[in-house]
């Protein structure tokens, strides 16, 4: 599956002007045929003991004139799929893939093996969200743009009409802290004027270690680094003296401080502070995160573009697996024969990104006022978007606290801490890094289940 930009996709348009109907039994032959073209019957290296569930992948055309399309991978639940909600998962970047990250390294039913580029069942597969708690959609974020994502997912629903009436949630992590509120806002606005056929039954959002505000996120990174004894007192003092992260352009002195800071993270893993770095090295996409492209000086970019990393080396294995021609064929990917290889993140996208707002705090406020279910979670050993950053950002919302800081439990152990605001729930996950489902999968599952059920996390051991 190669890394596409939307403008490079030369796909024929599909005539999908069909009336939405809630159940698969009432679908007409044309709709069923289109879905079956995307049906994935098996994958190379897939375990022979895989549970029975339907999966689909392919392209949804979003702009026939420009040849734009969105690549997706969709899993139905194994248990009573018609009764389960629909969840869209987005990773970050900008320019990174939830196919290569979310599905293959975090919470999909199939994870890449650590020794060979094949697949293994998710260790939590008996209750993994993609199999039992709901239907999950993963997309290739190289394609996303905030001003067109609403249209993109309307087109997906046109293809899968039987799911349009189901409860729909959007979840994700990192730069999805921008994607998700913006997409949620588009759906809310479109729903106000939508006909019954085009209305999306949108219920809420769930975002982990989310980049939401340029000022507070950057100060949280610096403060957290000092609290974790990563930077010196002198460098911390220089940041306080030289940097104003609320400005678009940073001073030369602040840029120099950032240079010293980033050098420290060449020897440890910023995404999981207490995890060893991968000795095999990481895929050659240089960086996975450039939050202020097109708006800021190179200094801010240096701080936001840290080397991506999570041991044990799953990025390398995922990159190898999705570059296999038999895998691309099974997923109905690379139908135009792109000249470059698949990459988990692509710098040609991130370096040209012109679509990033400095903050989405006003958008989140609007979503709170609209009554959406909103949960923000944070792995507390992440230094990329640390818990400190998220707490600073949430403070900007000015929400009243309904249930103050208290522990939640996963079985006999504290899973983390939570505070319930008026209109938003914040949850930390103890011992988790930037990619919470990778580092603490069981706790992540507990969190997802309670989010979808709209119930508080366990307040006592069980």
Which CATH number is 191's domain given? 3.40.50.1820
d(CA 7, CA 356): 19
pLDDT over threshold 60, residue 302: no
Mean pLDDT of 425-454: 94
Percent of the chain with pLDDT over 90: 44
Supply the range of the domain harboring residue 355: 1-217+312-462
Please, which pLDDT band fits residue 402 given cuts at 50, 70 and 90? Answer: very high
358, 82 contact by CB (below 8 A): no
pLDDT over threshold 90, residue 382: yes
Residue 423 lies in a domain: yes
CB atoms within 10 A of CB 409: 17
Mean pLDDT of 441-450: 93
The region of weakest confidence among 221-235, 250-264, 360-374 is 250-264
Catalytic choice (57, 174, 272, 350): 174
pLDDT for the residue 136: 74
Catalytic choice (380, 434, 438, 450): 434
Q: Report how many domains make up the chain.
A: 1
Mean pLDDT of 351-379: 88
Residue 226 lies in a domain: no
Residue 382 known to be catalytic:
yes
Residue 295 lies in a domain: no
326, 118 contact by CB (below 8 A): no
- Angle, in degrees to the nearest 10, between helices 176-193 and 149-159: 70
d(CA 159, CA 98): 20
Residue 389 known to be catalytic:
no
Residue 434 known to be catalytic:
yes
Residue 270 lies in a domain: no
pTM: predicted TM-score of the whole model, two decimal places? 0.85
Residue 14 lies in a domain: yes
Catalytic choice (382, 410, 438, 450): 382
DSSP 8-state symbol, 101: I
Q: pLDDT per residue over 43-87, tens digit each?
A: 999 888 777 889 999 988 877 777 778 889 999 888 888 888 999
Average pLDDT of the chain, as a whole number? 80
Residue 249 lies in a domain: no
Here the tokens at position 42 are: 């098996």
């Amino acid at each position: 599956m190669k890394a596409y930009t939307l403008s490079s996709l030369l796909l024929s348009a599909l005539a999908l002007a069909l009336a939405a109907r809630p159940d698969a039994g009432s679908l007409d032959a044309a709709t069923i045929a289109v879905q079956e073209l995307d049906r994935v019957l098996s994958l190379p290296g897939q375990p022979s003991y895989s549970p029975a569930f339907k999966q689909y992948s392919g392209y949804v055309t979003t702009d026939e004139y420009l040849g734009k399309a969105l690549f997706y991978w969709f899993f139905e639940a194994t248990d009573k799929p018609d009764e389960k909600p629909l969840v869209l998962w987005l990773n970050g970047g900008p320019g990174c893939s939830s196919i290569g990250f979310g599905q293959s390294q975090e919470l999909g039913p199939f994870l890449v093996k650590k020794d060979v580029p094949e697949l293994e069942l998710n260790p939590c597969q008996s209750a993994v969200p993609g199999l039992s708690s709901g239907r999950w959609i993963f997309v290739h974020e190289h394609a996303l743009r905030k001003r067109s994502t609403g249209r993109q997912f309307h087109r997906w629903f046109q293809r899968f009409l039987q799911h349009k009436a189901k409860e729909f949630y959007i979840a994700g992590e990192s730069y999805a802290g921008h994607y998700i509120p913006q997409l949620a806002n588009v759906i809310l606005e479109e729903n106000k004027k939508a006909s019954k056929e085009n209305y999306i039954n949108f219920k809420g959002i769930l975002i982990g270690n989310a980049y939401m505000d340029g000022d507070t996120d950057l100060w949280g990174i610096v403060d957290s680094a000092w609290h974790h004894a990563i930077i010196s007192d002198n460098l911390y003092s220089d940041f306080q003296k030289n940097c104003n992260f609320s400005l678009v352009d940073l001073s030369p002195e602040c840029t120099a401080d950032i240079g010293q800071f980033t050098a420290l993270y060449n020897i440890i893993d910023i995404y999981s502070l207490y995890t060893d770095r991968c000795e095999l090295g990481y895929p050659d996409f240089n960086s996975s995160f450039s939050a202020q492209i097109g708006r800021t000086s190179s200094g801010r970019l240096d701080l936001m573009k840290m080397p991506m990393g999570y041991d044990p080396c799953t990025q390398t294995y995922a990159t190898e697996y999705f570059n296999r021609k038999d895998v691309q064929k099974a997923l109905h990917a690379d139908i135009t024969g792109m000249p470059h290889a698949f990459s988990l993140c692509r710098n040609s996208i991130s370096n040209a990104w012109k679509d990033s707002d400095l903050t989405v705090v006003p958008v989140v406020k609007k979503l709170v006022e609209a009554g959406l279910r909103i949960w923000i979670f944070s792995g507390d050993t992440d230094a990329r978007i640390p818990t400190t950053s998220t707490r600073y950002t949430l403070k900007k919302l000015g929400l009243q606290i309904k249930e103050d800081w208290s522990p939640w439990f996963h079985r006999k152990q504290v899973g983390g801490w939570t505070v319930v605001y008026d209109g938003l729930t914040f949850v930390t996950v103890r011992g988790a890094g930037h990619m919470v489902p990778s580092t603490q999968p069981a706790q992540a599952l507990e969190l997802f289940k309670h989010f979808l059920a709209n119930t508080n996390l366990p307040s006592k051991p069980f």
